[in-house]
Structures are given as structure tokens and as C-alpha cells.
Structure 1
Amino acid sequence: MSDQATTDTPTTPPEEKNVTGRGGRYYSKLWFWILIAITAGILLGLLAPGVARNTKWLADTFLQLIKIITGPVIFCTVVVGIASLGNLARAGGLALKALGYFLIATVVALALGLLAANVVQPGAGFSAAPSAADLKQAQSQLSSGTRDSGLVDFITKDLLPSSFVQPFVTNQVLQVLVLAILTACAVSMLAPGLRERVVGTVDVLSKIIFGIIKIIMWVAPLGAFGGMAYTVAVFGGGALGSLAKLMLTFWVTCAIFVFGVLGAVAAWSRFSIFKFIRLIKDELLIIVGTSSSETVLPRLLAKLEAAGASRQTVGVVIPTGYSFNLDGTCIYLTLGALFILQAGGEQIGIGSQIGLLLLMVLTSKGAAGITGAGLVTLAASLQAFGGEFFTPEAVAVGIALIVGIDRVMSEGRALTNCIGNGVATMVIARLQGERDEERFQAVLEDPSLVDEAMSRLARVS
């Protein structure tokens, strides 16, 4: 809670601050070792690509460890966050504000992707043909993305679980969120004494889970090393030259969204986007190595609460945002769709582009922040839109053109998604009157203040 956060503001001994000027010794910080790991991965990928191709299992193992606790940490955080309010009307108001914010952010991100594609024309004059391997992988992505994309299908297959345990087994973030909200509502209707005991029990369980996260995060440098070494070995060197224009357009568009759009939102909410990015640099470095925003979800929950947002706000906004507020994925969808058209020498009118945008407002929801989800969602969106230009054959060739650089673009998607959800949390916390301003401004000036507070969150009282 915000009051507790103010009281528990940790201090760093003066002699420790003198070592680096602020925040303790560099070699004791997670970000330092992740930077070392990323650098080593790049060198291995360039100098020994044959060896580096066999390191992907390190990143996959780290992602698998994170998946073990993603469902439980979302469930516990949401249940405690909503049930501790003791007021369903207040929780409903928070959820409505979050969904309204996400809808606006989604439309802006999709429109920005369309604008960038029309201005830069990254696919114009594209003459390279996809390789046989890329075509084969594209067919696999199309098979994964083949499903109805209507509202009914979204509700029955993406939103509602088939059993209570199934979302935890299959790691379906959106379905876990639905279960957590239902459970929290049921707990909120209990008698006050019983409700407090249930919330206390779930809260203790969440602290144990955060303790597990603290242990797992020390494996993050190995995951970053393996992911970066594999990426450089497979896609580095000049293999990306023919698609550099698309990648550059995408990354620049994401930067404009982060520092322009989100920067303006952050300034309106009285904080600097640059200082906020510095606050979550550990999480962003992990994403760079693993190309997945899912790897930092549990840690982001703890960090934003420690930074001054109330547990209720963090518990509702972050898990919901991971399914409903994928800003980087939205930019990728519209930019990728028009690139495929342009690469085939085709154009569509502004009316059709608006129709495509409206469709992607729906199809972008529920796409988990894991590596490759954006490509599958793009394939499904183009198949659903159909028409004269997005025939199955044209979609297969277009996806094959992008699949080779998707991992590089996946990092941009994941970074933008993470920053977008972090900013949304702190903005909505202020709108709710549940952001400890003194605490938040202090950690923005000195991010090391968050470390001890996060340790307290993981400590079982």
C-alpha cells in the first residue's frame, strides 16, 4: 500500500553509495550481469555462430521457469488487490478506467503503424523472394493462426476457460485473469472477518511466489546470453539487409510512440518517461535478451507496487494490460500488413485501411506477450480480413517475407508492450488517487530505493 511504501523507504549506507555514486555496487545489480551476458552473447554469435546456434535452450529454459509462476502470481495479485478493497463498485471503476485507457492506446498505436507504413512505404520496390525454409515456417504460422476471429470465438475460446485449472496448465493469461476476478468478487462478498482471513492467506502465498521469482531472476543473465547469441548467429551479419527498411521503420515508430505518445501521457501524469524507463531498466534488459515481455511480468508487478502504486491498481492493470494493451504488437500488425501489400505491388484505400484497423482492435486482444505471438496474430488478422489482396496464397508469401526478421522485431514489440503497461499502471494509479507521489518521485530519482522494498514484498511476514 502507498502508506506502507512511504514508511518502508529503504536507505543505502553512505559508504556503499560512494562506490558508484548512487545505488550500491554495480556488480551486485542484476542489470549489470544482464548487460555482461548480452555483450557475451553478441560476441559468441559473431565469432562462433555454430556454437551460438545451440544456446537458444538457455533462453527457452528461463522462459519456462517464468511460465511456472506467471499464472499463480497473476491470480494471487488480482485476488488480493480486488478483495482487499471490500468494495466491488470501486474495483469495477478501476477496471473500466483501465479498459478505456487500453482502448485509446490500442487505436493510437494501430493508427501510428498505418501512418508509418503509408509515409515510409517500407515494402515499395521489394524484390526479394522468401526462402523455402521461410515459406515452410510461414505455413506453420498460418496453421497456428487459423481460427475464427469474431467476438463469439474470442469469448468462448480466448476469454473463458474450460475448467478451473486449465488456464494455469496452459498458461493462458487472460483466462487466469477471468478466474482471478471471479474469485476476488466471491471473496469480497464474504463476511469482513472471513474475507480478511482469506485475503491474508492468499497474500502469504503471493509472498512465497515472489520469493520464487527472486530466485529465478538470478538465472536471467543466462537466458539473455542464450537468446542474444542465438539471435545474432541466425539473423546477424548482413542476412537482414534486404529487410532493414522495415525493421528501421518499426523501431523508429515504436520510439515515437514511447517517447512521443507515452511521454506526453507521462508528463500529463507528472513524471518523466526517461526516468521511468531508467526505473524499469532491469526488466527491459531481460526483454532484450529473451524477446519476451512475459519474462518480466511477475517482477514488474512487484516493482510498480514498490514504486508507489497501490496493490489494487497493480493487480488489475498489469495482468489486464498483458492481454488488452499490447502497444508494440499493434504497431507491428498494421505496419506488417501494409508492408506485405506493398511488397506484392498492391495498395488499398484509406477506407479499407480503417476497416483493417478496426478488425485489429479486436484481433490484437488476448495475444500473450510471448515470442512469436505477434506473427501468429498478424497471420490470423490478414486471413480474417481476406479480400482480393489478402488471399491465402498472398498471406503465406507475405508472412514468409517477415518471418526471418520476426525475432528482431519481437524485441521491439515486447519492449514497447512492457513500457506501455508500466506507464498505464502509474497513470491509472494517479487517476484512482492510489499513487504515493512522494514515494514514486523518490524512486524515479534513485531507482535503487526499489530493491529493498521489493525484497520486503517477497518476505513472508
Structure 2
Amino acid sequence: MAQELVIPVEPAAPYRTPWYRALFTQLLVAVVAGIVVGALWPHVGAELKPLGDGFIKLIKMVIAPIVFCTVVLGIAHVGNLKSVGRIGVKALIYFEAVTTFALLFGLVVGNVLKPGTGFSIDPKTLATGADQIAKTTQNGSLPHTVDFLLNIIPTSMLSAFAENKMLQVLFVAVFFGVALAKFGENGPPVILEGIDHVSRIFFIMIGWIMKLSPLGAFGAMAYIVGQYGLKSLGSYGKLIGCCYLAAVLFLFVLAAIARIFAGVSLWKFLKYIREEMFLALSTASTEVVLPRIMTKLIDAGCSRATTGLVVPTGYSFNLDGATLYLSICVLFLAQALDVNLSIGEQLTALLVLMLTSKGMAAVPGSSFLALSATITAIGHGSIPVAAVAILLGADRIMDSMRVSVNLLGNCVATLVVANWEGQLDRERLTRVLNGESVEPLRDPDPMAVNV
């Protein structure tokens, strides 16, 4: 029999998008253009807010079903409640440890740099501060701890999606995923394949929406600069510089955590998610990148179950950037009013912020409410609650700092918990971060294991 001739074929070189069509390049051009328009024509920039708002609404429209599908598929393939519960407990332990450290870190930076010194605010000028805060927070309030926990349970399964409440969607997804895993013990049910197809359809929709991201970033940046002006940078320069410096220093903390507990180079990971980071920075929102960041974490080797549980939960419980900002602002307000807070009063502020910083993401003006509650708890008569209004001029500028640290902190949390749970494909992660080509994921979760 004649021997078959085998002709070696060189593997096709991976296709590289031209630099001018890369999303990062388009976002960079859009952000620069937004800054220019906002600075030169403030009124025009302020009118471009609908561009950013519309893009964010489009993303929010598909977040709930994507989170639901991702979590359900991950849990169904893991196969039991014990493993899911273990992931959740480990995530909460990590969240509490890191956010508490972030609060302490912010207090240290605030005590060393003293951003409020020299501001010299007269308490008599703060009479209208309470009205300004009420307007910003829409007369809302932070929920009591018990109310917050009870509100995780939706009124109905459909209301969680209709109201787009992330923790409620996550609760429904976990419940449904565990039940589906139990139902499929004797073989995977057809519904699992159907959910997988639905998930793919929503990711196609996200791909279309993301093509509008440069337009959204342009509108958001033009509005920020046009509405608040570059002059705010001068008025609050010391506070802004202090917060951004604290954020940069905290990135080194996250880098150490990623290296020690997950064996990951944070700088390589930053390069891997640079488009998502830049989009979050320009729109001052982490929600706009939630679907993409989950996809990238899964593609980099994190299990679908871990990613689906840790990332959405982290959006409420792991706000590293927000906690940094809050602890620094407590000291800023005291220093601006020439009040010297004792160690005991600062520890009281720390304990209050540990509670008020959880679940604050969905509450309008939550940072002001958290600060108001903290100042009230300190009980220092020389710091009126209305003093929080001092921060109105700088708060919006701080959003980019907060969202960037929040986003990166949640990515590191996912990597750490996945590695802790043994659901991190380290070989795939190394290849992805090194820019090497990898096989596309065929199974919804190659790292899923039955425990």
C-alpha cells in the first residue's frame, strides 16, 4: 500500500488588528478629543453628557442576563453547593481583609500628607451644605445592615432583572445554578445547552455595543471637563494629588498580593486588560466593562464559577478605590476645619466605614452618605455634617481614581480566589499574559471539578 504523503503546513500567523483600528487607540483619541472639546468649549462639552449616558445604559441593559448565564453555567459545571459556598466564603474573607487594609492605608496617607491643611474652611459658611448633600444623594440613605442583607433577596425572580440589581441577580443565578446542577446529576439537561447559547447571543450584543465605546468615552470626558472645568484641579489640587498618589501606591500592594497569592505579574495583567481599564477611566464607570472583564478573566484561565461569583459580588463588597478615598476624605475634612482627630476617633471612623462602604455602589451619592454617617459617629462637634459639601467640587474628578482601583482590585481578587480554590489554569494564564496564542475555550469551564 502506498505511503500517504504528508505535507507539513506552517500554522497561520495570528491576525493582528491594525493599530488605527485597535480599541485602545480609538479610546485614546476619543478621550483626548473629549478633553480638548471640554476645555475649549465648556458649554458644548457639558451638552455631550447623553453620549456617555447612552453608552452606559446600553451596557447595563445586558449586564444582568450575562451575569446570570455566566454564574449558572459555572455552578452547573462545578456540580455542588459545597464548592460554590467555599468560593463565596473565600471571596468574602478576601474582600474584608483587603478593604480594611485599604481604609488603614488611606488613613496613613492622610495623616502623612495632610491634604486639608491650609484649606481653612469657616464652619459658618457651611449652612447650606446639608441642602446640597440632600440634592446630590436624592434624599436617600444608606441601608441598615439587616435591610441590606434582606434586600439581596428579590421580591420575585423577574424583579431582580427588571430593577437591574446586581446582588439580586447573583442570588437568583446561584439558586438556579445549584438547582440545575442537582437536576442534571444523571446527565446534563438540555436547558444547560440553551443557557450557553443565550449567553453567546448576549456576548455578540456586547460586541456590537462596544463598537460605540469611543463615542461614549468622548462624551463622558467632554462632559466632565466642560461641566467641572480644569480649575477644579487647582482648588482641590492637594486632595486630588493625595488620592491619586494613594491609588498608585495601593497598586503596588495589589501587585504584591497578585504575585504572592496568585503568582501573577500585575503589570502583564494590566497590559492584558488595558482597553477595559482605559474605558473604565474615561467613563468613570466599572459597570461598562463588567461583561468584557469577566470574559477576559475566564479566557485567561480563571474558572467560570469563580469569575461569575467573585466579580459581581466584588462590585458591592470589594470597593478598594472607594474605601481609600473615604478614609482620606475624613481626615481632609477634619484638617480643612483645623480639627485634630485623635487615634480613637480615627479608629471609630475606620469601624464605621467598614460597614458603610459595603453595598454602597448602587446608592446615589453614596460616598457623601458614608462620610456623613462617619462624621456623625465620630461625634466631634467641631465637624458639622454639612462639611461634607466641601467635597462636591472634587468628588466627580475622583471617580477615575476610584473606578480604576475598584476594577483592578476585583480582578486581583478573582485571580487569588481562583488560585486558592484550585480553579486557575496557570499554564493558560502564563501564555495569555505573555501574548502567546491559545486555543479558544470549547468547554464552558475547563477547570470545573466535582468536589
TM-score by structure 2 length?
0.88
Deviating more after overlay: 85-94 vs 160-169: 160-169
Distance in 1 of aligned mates of 2:247 and 2:274? 17
Task: Supply the AA of the counterpart residue of 1:138.
Answer: I
Query: Does the 8 Å contact 1:375/1:403 carry over to 2?
Result: no
Deviation at 1:196, TM superposition (A): 3.6
- What residue in structure 2 maps to residue 13 of structure 1? 13
Deviations 1:150-206 (A, max 9, x none): x2122234x232222222222211121122122222222214246543322222211
Deviation at 1:431, TM superposition (A): 1.7
Query: Does the 8 Å contact 2:298/2:307 carry over to 1?
Result: yes
Distance in 2 of aligned mates of 1:390 and 1:162? 43
Distance change (3 Å), C-alpha of 1:173 and 1:359: same
Q: Which structure has the highest helix share of the two?
A: 1
Task: Supply the AA of the counterpart residue of 2:387.
Answer: V
Deviation at 1:33, TM superposition (A): 0.7
Query: Does the 8 Å contact 1:114/1:335 carry over to 2?
Result: yes
Deviation at 1:133, TM superposition (A): 9.4
- What residue in structure 1 maps to residue 147 of structure 2? 153
Alignment root-mean-square deviation, CA: 2.6
Deviation at 1:108, TM superposition (A): 0.7
Work out whether 1:264 is the aligned partner of 2:260.
Answer: no
Query: Does the 8 Å contact 1:160/1:175 carry over to 2?
Result: yes
- The size of the alignment, in residue pairs, is 431
- What residue in structure 2 maps to residue 43 of structure 1? 36
- What residue in structure 2 maps to residue 421 of structure 1? 410
Distance in 2 of aligned mates of 1:100 and 1:88? 18
Gaps of 5+ in 1: 1-10, 17-22
Q: Which of these residues, 122, 128, 135, is aligned with residue 140 of structure 1?
A: 135
Q: Which of these residues, 372, 381, 387, is aligned with residue 397 of structure 1?
A: 387
Gaps of 5+ in 2: 1-10, 445-451
**Aligned counterparts, 1:240-279, within 5 A:** 240-258=233-251, 260-268=252-260, 269-279=262-272
Distance in 2 of aligned mates of 1:368 and 1:102? 15
Distance in 2 of aligned mates of 1:85 and 1:456? 12
Deviating more after overlay: 62-71 vs 427-436: 427-436
Query: Does the 8 Å contact 2:142/2:356 carry over to 1?
Result: no
Work out whether 1:105 is the aligned partner of 2:91.
Answer: no
Q: Which of these residues, 416, 420, 431, is aligned with residue 420 of structure 2?
A: 431
Deviation at 1:27, TM superposition (A): 2.0
- What residue in structure 1 maps to residue 212 of structure 2? 219
Secondary structure at the aligned position of 1:323 is classed as: helix
Distance in 2 of aligned mates of 1:121 and 1:66? 39
Deviation at 1:128, TM superposition (A): 5.5
Query: Does the 8 Å contact 2:136/2:365 carry over to 1?
Result: no
Q: Which of these residues, 107, 112, 117, is aligned with residue 119 of structure 1?
A: 112
**Aligned counterparts, 1:188-199, within 5 A:** 188-193=181-186, 195-199=188-192
Task: Supply the AA of the counterpart residue of 1:438.
Answer: E
Work out whether 1:94 is the aligned partner of 2:87.
Answer: yes
TM-score by structure 1 length?
0.87
Deviating more after overlay: 266-275 vs 136-145: 136-145
Deviation at 1:38, TM superposition (A): 0.4
Q: Which of these residues, 171, 192, 205, is aligned with residue 178 of structure 1?
A: 171
Deviating more after overlay: 306-315 vs 409-418: 306-315
Distance change (3 Å), C-alpha of 1:136 and 1:68: same
**Aligned counterparts, 1:373-388, within 5 A:** 373-379=365-371, 381-382=373-374, 385=377, 387-388=379-380
Aligned-residue sequence identity (percent) comes to: 39
Secondary structure at the aligned position of 1:192 is classed as: coil
Task: Supply the AA of the counterpart residue of 2:433.
Answer: L
